[in-house]
Homo-oligomer: A and B are copies of this chain.
Amino acid sequence: MQITPEPIAGSDTESGELSVVPAASMAPAFSPLYQQIKRLILNSLRAGEWKPGEGIPSEMDLATRYRVSQGTVRKAIDELAAENLLLRRQGKGTFVTTHAEQQVQFRFLKLEPDSGTRGSSGPAHRNIIECRRARASMDVAKALGLRTGETVLQVRRVLSFGGTPIILEDIWLPAVPFRGLTAERLANYQGPMYALFETEFNVRMVRAEEKIRAIPSLKMHESLLNVKQGTALLSVERVAYTYRDEPMELRKGYYRTDTHHYHNALN
């Protein structure tokens, strides 16, 4: 059984909904119903039919809408919840996840103090050093899917914990989606940067990939991070992706790890 999506939000960007056959393959490309439902829900998220923080229709409503059983909708939502795109709350409903909540303040930041829990030394202090327009270098362009020389915004900031500067971040953003972003707006905004991206620029960061290295600190790190040149720093290069799986941010972080460490759980 295949589903014919009803044109609700006038936003089905993808034309070929089903039966995508791998090139030069005889595979029938069978796709279970719940995967098709999952894609329809994802399309609604992409189209902004339900915004971050809002609730989506109940399972029964969606089942009626898509003309499938509740269990099928349920399995679709389960997967989206596992990917952190949706959040289920028993008795209340299912909600679009957002970066604008206290609990997930630093969802992508895995640095922790060696002793104590994160936040035990008070809230992080953010210091915007600069925000300027620039031309994408080759590696920045490649990471963001742009052409070399295209206009990007470059942000530099320092994060301090307990009064000590711990992290220097250089951030590159494509200029077009982020038109109007200034150092002042960044400095005045309370809350995670990704929350500002959501509310002000309609850009939702969904997942990220990081490449981690150890590097000797440079001269510029001396004053900004209060370390001597040559000190070992953790280099964390992150590319963050949107609902559409487009790379929308390149972030090069330099972490002091004398009092903190990057924590990772392996399963």
**Chain A positions near chain B (C-beta within 8 angstroms):** 83-84, 107-108, 110, 207-216, 230-235, 237-238, 255, 257, 261-267
Contact = CB atoms under 8 A, between A and B. Distances in A.
Contacts of A234: 212-214, 234
A263 B232 contact: no
A209 B263 contact: yes
Given A230-B230, A233-B232, A213 B261 contact: yes
Copies of this chain, whole number: 2
A75 B185 CA distance: 47
Nearest to A240: B266
Majority-rule SS of A interface residues? strand
Nearest to A78: B78
Contact of A210 (B208, B215, B216, B264): B264
Contact of A263 (B84, B210, B214): B210
A145 B168 CA distance: 36
18 contacts: A83-B267, A84-B267, A107-B266, A207-B265, A207-B266, A209-B264, A209-B265, A210-B263, A210-B266, A212-B234, A212-B262, A212-B263, A213-B234, A213-B257, A213-B261, A213-B262, A214-B235, A237-B261
Given A214-B214, A234-B213, A257-B214, A207 B267 contact: yes
A255 B215 CA distance: 12
Contacts of A262: 211-213
A28 to B, nearest CB: 15
